[in-house]
Amino acid sequence: MKTQKSENTGCSEKPSGSPERFMRQAIELARRSVSEGGGPFGAVIVKDGQVVATGHNQVVPACDPTAHAEVTAIRAAAKALGTFDLSGCEIYTSCEPCPMCLGAIYWARIERMYYGCDQKEAAQAGFDDAFIYRELALDPAHRRLASCRILADEAREAFRAWEAKSDKTEY
Ligand SMILES: [Zn+2]
């Protein structure tokens, strides 16, 4: 995965385009989302200095607990570009992502993230995901989520089928 650099060069690299302009767009999406019944989060995905897709939080209006701004934007960007691989893209999100969205950003191979608010400010607004970050570090047996492993041998059959498939698209 291209995102797995040995070192996080973060903000020291020269950004492409105008980061503030795209961040303002993400913030505006977040503000508008509130008036439309969504949560106060917006995200913009940019490639080669052009906006590829945008997203805002739609958890309540869409009855979808995964409809966070970043996931919504990633889905739209992948559809717009016709690929699951968003290498070369940047994401601008009005708030530091939750664990689900951060994971989605890695899976999408997005190479750079800009964020506005941080986790602490999100928690103050009633969106505290710190416990999920803490849960991730725990062994499944010690998580708040009751996690029971069953039928491991049968479950492995899907992996065997995948390994045996010669014409698969790896991702
Ligand atoms: Zn999220």
What's the 162 CA to ligand 1 centre distance in angstroms?
30
Separation of 44 CA from ligand 1 center, angstroms? 14
Q: What is the pTM of this model?
A: 0.90
Q: How far, in Å, CA of 20 to CA of 128, rounded? A: 26
| DSSP-derived secondary structure for 34-56 | HHTTS-S-EEEEEETTEEEEEEE
Could you tell me the distance, in angstroms and rounded to a whole number, from the CA of residue 96 to the centre of ligand 1? 9
Q: Which two tokens stand for residue 127?
A: 């969106």
Catalytic, 121? Answer no
List 7, 20, 28, 70, catalytic entry: 70
Instruction: Tokens 């913009």: give the residue.
Output: 44
Q: Where residue 18 falls among pLDDT bands split at 50, 70, 90?
A: confident
The pLDDT-based confidence of 2 (bands split at 50, 70, 90) is very low
Helix (H, G, I), strand (E, B) or coil at 24: helix
Task: For residue 12, give the 3-state DSSP assignment.
Answer: helix
| CA–CA dist 148, 161 (Å, integer) | 24
Measuring CA to CA, which residue among 90, 116, 115, 108 is closest to residue 16?
A: 90
Predicted confidence (pLDDT) per residue in 109-135, tens digit: 999 999 999 999 999 999 999 999 999
pLDDT at residue 13, rounded to an integer: 62
Q: Please answer whether residues 110 and 92 qualify as being in contact, where contact means their C-beta atoms are separated by less than 8 angstroms.
A: no
Neighbours of ion ligand 1 (CB under 5 A): 68, 98, 100-101
pLDDT tens, 43-102? Answer: 999 999 999 999 999 999 999 999 999 999 999 999 999 999 999 999 999 999 999 999
pLDDT at 16 exceeding the cut of 70:
no
Strands (E), 71-140: 89-95, 112-117
